[in-house]
Chain A
Amino acid sequence: MNGGWRAWLRLFAVQGTWNYERMLGVGMGYAAEPLLEDLKTVDPVRHTEAVVRSAEFFNCNPNLAGLALGATARAEYDAVPGAQIARLRTALCSPLGALGDQLFWAGLVPLLVGAALIGVALGAAWWALPAFLVVYNLARVATGVWALRTGLDAGMAVGNAIATSWMSRAIERVGPAAGFSIGAAIPLVSAWYLEAIGWPAALGAIAVALTGVAVTRWFGASLTTVRFTLLALVLLVLFRWVLP
Chain B
Amino acid sequence: MAIVLFRVDDRLIHGQVVVGWGRPLGVNRIVLVDEQVATSAWEQDLYRMAVTPDIEVEFLTVADAAARLRDWQADVRRTLVLTGDLDTMAALHALDPVTVHRINLGGIHHRAGRRERLPYLYLTDDEMARLMALDAAGAAVAAQDLPTTSPVALKALP
A–B proximity contact (CB within 8 A): yes
**Bound-complex Cα distance A93 to B116 (A):** 22
* Proximity string of chain B (1-27) to chain A, C-beta cutoff 8 Å, 1 when within and 0 when not: 000000000011111011100010000
The answer to the question of A20 belonging to the interface, with a C-beta cut-off of 8 Å to chain B, is: yes
The answer to the question of B43 belonging to the interface, with a C-beta cut-off of 8 Å to chain A, is: yes
Given A21-B109, A91-B46, A92-B46, A102-B14 contact (CB < 8 Å): no
Chain A binding surface, main DSSP class: helix
Q: Of the candidates B46, B51, B52, B150, which one forms a contact with A221 in the assembled complex, judged by CB atoms under 8 Å apart?
A: B150
Q: How many residues of A contact B (CB 8 A)?
A: 34
User: Is B116's CB under 8 angstroms from A20's CB?
Assistant: yes
User: Is A95's CB under 8 angstroms from B52's CB?
Assistant: no
User: Is B15's CB under 8 angstroms from A100's CB?
Assistant: yes
Q: Which of B11, B119, B144 has the most CB of A within 10 A?
A: B11
Q: Which of B11, B42, B49, B110 has the most CB of A within 10 A?
A: B49
The answer to the question of A97 belonging to the interface, with a C-beta cut-off of 8 Å to chain B, is: yes
**Bound-complex Cα distance A20 to B118 (A):** 10
* Proximity string of chain B (128-151) to chain A, C-beta cutoff 8 Å, 1 when within and 0 when not: 000000000000000010011111
* B119 partner residues in chain A, CB cutoff 8 A: 20
User: Is B15's CB under 8 angstroms from A171's CB?
Assistant: no
Minimum C-beta distance from B25 to chain A (A)? 13
User: Is B14's CB under 8 angstroms from A94's CB?
Assistant: yes
**Bound-complex Cα distance A92 to B19 (A):** 17
User: Is B47's CB under 8 angstroms from A57's CB?
Assistant: no
* B50 partner residues in chain A, CB cutoff 8 A: 94-95, 97-99
* A4 partner residues in chain B, CB cutoff 8 A: none
**Bound-complex Cα distance A57 to B107 (A):** 13
* B43 partner residues in chain A, CB cutoff 8 A: 87, 91
Given A20-B110, A221-B150, A159-B42 contact (CB < 8 Å): yes
* Proximity string of chain A (83-116) to chain B, C-beta cutoff 8 Å, 1 when within and 0 when not: 0000100011111011111100110000000000
User: Is B18's CB under 8 angstroms from A98's CB?
Assistant: yes
The answer to the question of B158 belonging to the interface, with a C-beta cut-off of 8 Å to chain A, is: no
Q: Which of A20, A93, A94, A159 has the most CB of B within 10 A?
A: A94
User: Is A221's CB under 8 angstroms from B42's CB?
Assistant: no
* A22 partner residues in chain B, CB cutoff 8 A: 110
The answer to the question of A191 belonging to the interface, with a C-beta cut-off of 8 Å to chain B, is: no
User: Is B52's CB under 8 angstroms from A172's CB?
Assistant: yes
The answer to the question of A222 belonging to the interface, with a C-beta cut-off of 8 Å to chain B, is: yes
* B18 partner residues in chain A, CB cutoff 8 A: 98, 101-102
User: Is A102's CB under 8 angstroms from B46's CB?
Assistant: no
**Bound-complex Cα distance A92 to B53 (A):** 19
7 contacts between A and B (CB under 8 A): A59-B11, A61-B15, A92-B46, A95-B46, A97-B11, A160-B45, A175-B52
Q: Which 6 A-B pairs have the closest CB atoms?
A: A101-B15, A98-B50, A97-B14, A21-B110, A95-B49, A95-B50
Q: A21-B109, A91-B46 are in contact. List 5 more A-B contacts (CB 8 A).
A: A57-B109, A57-B110, A94-B11, A102-B18, A163-B49
